[in-house]
Structure 1
Amino acid sequence: MHDQKESCNLLKEPRLVVRKFLARPQHEGLGAIVRRSIGRFELKYFDPFLVLDEFSVTAPAGFPDHPHRGFETVTYMLQGSFTHEDFEGHKGTIGAGDLQWMTAGRGIVHSEMPAAQGTQKGLQLWINLSSKHKMIEPRYQEILSKDVAEAIKDGIKVRVIAGEALGTKSPIYTRTPTMYLDFTLKPGAHLQQPIPISWNAFIYVLEGEGIFGNTKSSPTAAHHLLLLGTGDGLEVWNKSSKPLRFILVGGEPLGEPLVQFGPFVMNTQEEIDQTIDDFENYVNGFEKARHWRSESNLSLDY
């Protein structure tokens, strides 16, 4: 009884949903379809998050050679597999349940292309870097599905991509303090998940439908983004007859100026102008872009 009472009082101030909208499909890259929920005109930035895409790609569509500077990308595969190549010579394929946490830092040029038949599905999140980290060396953290931290309790399963849930921590290191949790709730399950009070947080529903924030809320179905208000955590109920799967993502706001030009994210317009100049002239981190082409790019017919 003591444990049950303790779990009932886990949160003093549960966060409520303050904004909700459906992520509609749009075209990106080379024939790829994405449902973009952060980084579109309704929500251009949710500090420190720049973009959230739920992607659906069937070969020969994909994301051929393109640059980045000033932030991190987190690619989490839900179905199929993707091969990543970059101008540093790094190449790897991630399949369902695997993830890649890429720090673009001062500059990277890479490609992300389907590696299997049929439709490849996943999520890509862009996380901003603070001014002191924007020009660090590029870095990768790749974790196979079998190595992703997991916990199961009271009808709740969580895959801990970053941060901590149900007493389980992720080994991923995040320069911008971040939590990224993949929850599945069985019918009838009730979740209480702490979130640092100062952080911004959101939910993206993948499957099923759930009640988020308080029991009077109307159920929310797949492909919806929910922005959470202030508080010390999140409450979720699955009152349906099917499993509910969603991601909960939170991060410490940077509170810095932001100027974005496509795949470049810096603090001032001058830095963006310099980045464009660096990329066009193959300097200051983009030297290897002069002669590099990915294998997938070389095989494309023009």
Structure 2
Amino acid sequence: MSNVVTDPRPVVRKFLARPQHEGVGATVRRSIGRFELKYFDPFLVLDEFSVSAPAGFPDHPHRGFETVTYMLQGAVTHEDFEGHKGTIEAGDLQWMTAGRGIVHSEMPAAEGTQKGLQLWINLSSKHKMIEPRYQEMKSREIKEASRNGVDVRVIAGEALGVKSEVYTRTPTMFLDFTLKPGAHIRQPIPLSWNAFVYVLEGEGVFGKERCSAVSAHHLLLLGEGDGLCASNKSSKALRFILVGGEPLGEPVRQYGPFVMNTQEQIDQTIEDYENCVNGFEKARQWKSQSTFVFGY
């Protein structure tokens, strides 16, 4: 991938992620995965979540994709039927490959409001039934770089000469940028990839055409080109994520937390889950401790 951006990508679509209810008493701002944008290959869902105990995301299954949870504030405890348990706090990352099947819970682990992002990344047909696996990184382990008023946390991919150690089965970049007032960035993106920006704080100008400043909770889909141009012309810091991925180009059939290629595979997945077989064997007896604690 070239380090020079010669053909900046335009913003081809913009919309505000409005709050909606998910889980049990939790609120999310869903941008990808809503009726306006069902799928942006290879991305299935992007949620900016906000949850306070006793609300949360009690025991639920997944198959056929990966979930990336990036904490912005507070802490969330994850637990699954394989015996994996851990707490991620502000700045921490969990990259979970659900593969052939996992049942887990995600519940608040601190006082007040817990906030973060969760991105669902589709898996190709050859990887949908692999064994579940995790990559977890504490905030201090995530690579960072700074240059000319631009700070970046490299969750996946590469930026400002720094490369993440996270392995992405579906080739992906996930960058957390903060631009000081007056700063600008030109970040390369592979030509064949789909890419988007999600604004977390402040407001910024994105794309190669002149456009009005875009504020928090907006999703921007980027068109064709070799990179992103972004600038902060305001008096406050601008924070946004840039996410890109290689499209799979495969059919998608989704039923809630199950994502496969055909309706027959979805029917089989539902049957597997209901009968606790073919990857869901441990679901028969398992119940998370956090679900019990919070009364679900």
| TM-score class normalised by the smaller sequence | over 0.9
Q: 1:215–1:237: 8 Å Cα contact kept in structure 2? A: no
TM-score by length of 1: 0.96
3-state SS in 1 of match to 2:287: coil
* Whole-angstrom distance in 2 between the partners of 1:193 and 1:301: 46
Question: In structure 2, what is the equivalent of residue 194 of structure 1?
Answer: 188
Q: Which amino acid aligns with 1:165?
A: A
- Is 1:276 matched up with 2:270? yes
**Structure 2 portions without partners, runs of 5+:** none
- Is 1:249 matched up with 2:243? yes
3-state SS in 2 of match to 1:74: strand
Alignment coverage as a number of residue pairs: 295
3-state SS in 1 of match to 2:145: strand
Question: In structure 2, what is the equivalent of residue 74 of structure 1?
Answer: 68
Question: In structure 2, what is the equivalent of residue 156 of structure 1?
Answer: 150
Q: Which amino acid aligns with 2:120?
A: W
Q: 1:110–1:294: 8 Å Cα contact kept in structure 2? A: yes
Question: In structure 2, what is the equivalent of residue 133 of structure 1?
Answer: 127
* Whole-angstrom distance in 1 between the partners of 2:83 and 2:173: 29
Q: 2:77–2:107: 8 Å Cα contact kept in structure 1? A: yes
Cα drift, residue 215 of structure 1: 5.6
Question: In structure 2, what is the equivalent of residue 285 of structure 1?
Answer: 279
3-state SS in 2 of match to 1:260: strand
TM-score by length of 2: 0.98
Question: In structure 2, what is the equivalent of residue 4 of structure 1?
Answer: none
Question: In structure 2, what is the equivalent of residue 107 of structure 1?
Answer: 101
3-state SS in 1 of match to 2:264: helix
Aligned runs of 1:207-226 on 2, under 5 Å? 207-214=201-208, 216-226=210-220
Structure 1 runs of 4+ off > 6 angstroms? none
- Larger deviation, residues 290-299 vs 199-208: 290-299
Question: In structure 2, what is the equivalent of residue 295 of structure 1?
Answer: 289
Question: In structure 1, what is the equivalent of residue 28 of structure 2?
Answer: 34
- Larger deviation, residues 169-178 vs 214-223: 214-223
1:1-25, CA deviations, whole angstroms, 9 ceiling, x for partnerless residues? xxxxxx9xx3121000000000000
Q: 1:52–1:124: 8 Å Cα contact kept in structure 2? A: yes
1:256-287, CA deviations, whole angstroms, 9 ceiling, x for partnerless residues? 00000000000000000000000000000000
3-state SS in 2 of match to 1:41: coil
Aligned runs of 1:218-237 on 2, under 5 Å? 218-237=212-231
Question: In structure 1, what is the equivalent of residue 175 of structure 2?
Answer: 181
3-state SS in 2 of match to 1:11: coil
